[in-house]
Amino acid sequence: MPKGDKEQPEHDEIKYIVRIAQTDLDGKKAVQYALTGLKGVGIRTARILTQSANVNPTDTMGYLDDEQIERLRDSVASFDQHIPAWMFNYRKSPVTGENQHLLGSQVDITLREDLNRMKKTRSYAGIRHERGHKVRGQRTKSTGRRGATVGVQRKKR
């Protein structure tokens, strides 16, 4: 075998798309990198998911059998039990007060709800979001400009 060629597994067919948590994942990638296609899952959390599902993270996602994919689905569904609280991406929810790890469309929905709550309560951050300004204390004199204000303006005589 020539140097650099990888051995193909004995499987006949590759699943080009694997569906986990209402998301289509790329079947040609390694499991740990394919899982990062889920919104709310990075490389570190993908490694934890593969370990909790007893799946080799370097295997190709499309060559996994149905039982391994089902274990991955269960691992993603019960993700909160596999990680410590400091790794959650939504801690101390203002509504329920509990820690959560949001996945998929929950991330977008929760962000939209949080922004709307800030706008309704007229908090400083909410007002800045409404007006399209920088929110987190960045400088605005020379950066973040859009439109005709870019460039140096000469004083009119």
**What's the pTM value of the predicted model, to 2 decimals?**
0.73
Instruction: Tell me the C-alpha distance between 93 and 73, whole Å.
Output: 25
DSSP readout, 126-157? Answer: HHHHHHT---SS---SSSS--GGG-SPPPPP-
Domains of the chain: 17-85 (1.10.8.50), 87-134 (no CATH)
Smallest Cα–Cα separation from 90: which of 19, 126, 39?
39
Contacts of 33 (CB under 8 A, 6+ apart): 43, 46
The mean pLDDT values, 10 residues at a time, for the chain of 157 residues are 52 84 91 93 93 93 93 91 88 88 91 95 95 91 74 72
CB 101 within 8 A of CB 88: yes
Length of the chain: 157
Is residue 31 within 8 Å of residue 61, measured between CB atoms?
A: yes
**To which residue do tokens 């101390």 refer?**
92
Question: In this predicted structure, what is the pLDDT of residue 144?
Answer: 80
| Dist CA 82 CA 9 (whole Å) | 30
Q: CA 108 to CA 122: how far, in whole Å?
A: 21
Tell me what pLDDT residue 104 has. Answer: 87
CB atoms within 10 A of CB 53: 21
